[in-house]
């Protein structure tokens, strides 16, 4: 079984790299952030605070969340509805970051992720894949970049999608999420001791993909 763990902060480029890598290796790509985003959206739909652990724990075990694949692309389905586009909205990013700090949410999502990873070869991107979800994964990379570079990438992505945002706001939001994601008590954003660090600040997507791909091919 090949499991490739790609962890790192928001906007580091890991999802872009994960998609291309999975394509080249012809294995699945599991975007674990999408799962936390769907949990954040569920709270919003229910009118429940993402910080209210008691309220969230009352529904999280029974959450109707499915990950499917259409032409190799992940589709996130919440309560029978395709929410793949809605979960990308900036307001959902903060909800996801906050709700992902709750232990009950992480335990449920991690359980789902481990089941998927044990049944097929895949590339997983997230914050805690190498350090917590799959500590025994053979291939672990910690993909990072300067926060301004990460904000610029997200800015371009959102503008291309027709969701214009204020750059400074976006940068602030990224710094806030970095802080949130790495300071939560349970399974924070963390570089696994045996992960290879890839600083993508001055690297092109192709360079990052080729770097990881050659390492995987050399060791697999
Ligand atoms: O990768 P992303 O921006 O789509 O992730 C959204 C949020 O989900 C992020 O702020 C932190 C959380 N997350 C997490 O805690 N653990 C993961 N494995 C993936 C995402």
The pLDDT, as a whole number, for residue 141 is 98
Ligand 1 midpoint to CA 210 (Å): 24
**Rounded to the nearest whole angstrom, what is the distance from the C-alpha of residue 54 to the centroid of ligand 1?**
21
pLDDT over 90 at 158, yes or no: no
**Tens digit of each residue's pLDDT (9 = 90 or more) over 4-49:** 999 999 989 999 999 999 999 999 999 999 999 999 999 999 999 9
Average per-residue pLDDT for the chain: 95
- The domains of the chain are located at 3-219
Is pLDDT of 214 > 90?
yes
Total Cβ atoms within 10 A of residue 71:
5
Per the listing, tokens 């949410």 go with 105
Ligand 1, closest atom to CA 7?
18
Q: Which atom of ligand 1 is nearest to the CA of 93?
A: 6
Report the pLDDT averaged over residues 197-219: 97
3-class DSSP state for residue 4? strand
Decide yes or no: CATH 3.40.50.300 for domain 3-219.
yes
- Give, using CA atoms, the residue closest to atom 18 of ligand 1: 126
pLDDT of residue 164: 82
Q: Which amino acids bring their CB within 6 angstroms of ligand 1?
A: 10, 32-33, 36-37, 93, 96-97, 100, 126-129, 177, 181
User: Which percentage of the chain shows pLDDT scores above 90?
Assistant: 91
- The arrangement of strands across the sheet holding 3-7 comes to 28-31, 122-126, 3-7, 139-144, 196-199
**The whole model's pTM is what?**
0.93
pLDDT at 74: 95
Does 157 have pLDDT greater than 90? no
Confidence of residue 169 (pLDDT cuts 50, 70, 90): very high
- Atom 1 in ligand 1: which residue has the minimum CA distance? 33
pLDDT digits (tens, 9 = 90+) for 58-116: 999 999 999 999 988 999 999 999 999 999 998 999 999 999 999 999 999 999 999 99
By residue count, the chain amounts to 220
> Which among 56, 32, 213 has a CA at the least distance from the CA of 125?
32
Which pairs with CB-CB distance under 8 Å and at least 24 residues apart come from 44-53? 44/92, 44/95, 45/79, 50/95, 50/98, 50/99, 50/102, 51/98, 51/102, 53/102, 53/103, 53/104
Q: Compute the distance from residue 213 Cα to the ligand 1 centre, in Å.
A: 23
Q: Whose CA is nearest to atom 2 of ligand 1?
A: 33
Q: Among candidates 91, 105, 113, which has minimal Cα distance to 184?
A: 105
Question: Which ligand 1 atom minimizes the distance to the CA of 101?
Answer: 15
- Closest residue by CA, ligand 1 atom 10: 97
Beta-carbon contacts of residue 220 (< 8 Å; ≥ 6 apart): 2, 138, 139
For residue 90, the model assigns a pLDDT of 85
């Amino acid at each position: 079984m090949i499991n490739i763990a790609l962890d790192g902060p928001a906007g580091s480029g890991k999802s872009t790299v994960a998609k291309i890598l999975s394509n080249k290796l012809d294995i699945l790509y599991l975007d674990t952030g999408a799962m936390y985003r769907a949990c954040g959206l569920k709270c919003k739909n229910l009118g429940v605070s993402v910080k209210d652990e008691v309220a969230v724990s009352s529904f999280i075990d029974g959450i109707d969340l499915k990950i499917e694949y259409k032409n190799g692309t992940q589709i996130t389905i919440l309560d029978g509805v395709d929410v793949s586009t809605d979960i990308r909205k900036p307001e959902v990013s903060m909800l996801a970051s906050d709700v992902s700090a709750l232990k009950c949410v992480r335990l449920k999502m991690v359980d789902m992720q481990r089941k998927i990873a044990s049944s097929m070869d895949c590339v997983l991107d997230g914050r805690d894949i190498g350090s917590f979800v799959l500590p025994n994964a053979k291939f672990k990379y910690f993909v990072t970049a300067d926060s301004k570079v990460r904000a610029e990438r997200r800015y371009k992505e959102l503008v291309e999608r027709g969701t214009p945002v204020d750059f400074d706001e976006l940068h602030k939001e990224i710094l806030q999420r970095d802080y949130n994601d790495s300071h939560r008590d349970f399974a924070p954003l963390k570089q696994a001791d045996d992960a290879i660090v890839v600083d993508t600040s001055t690297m092109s997507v192709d360079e990052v993909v080729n770097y990881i791909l050659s390492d995987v091919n050399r060791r697999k």
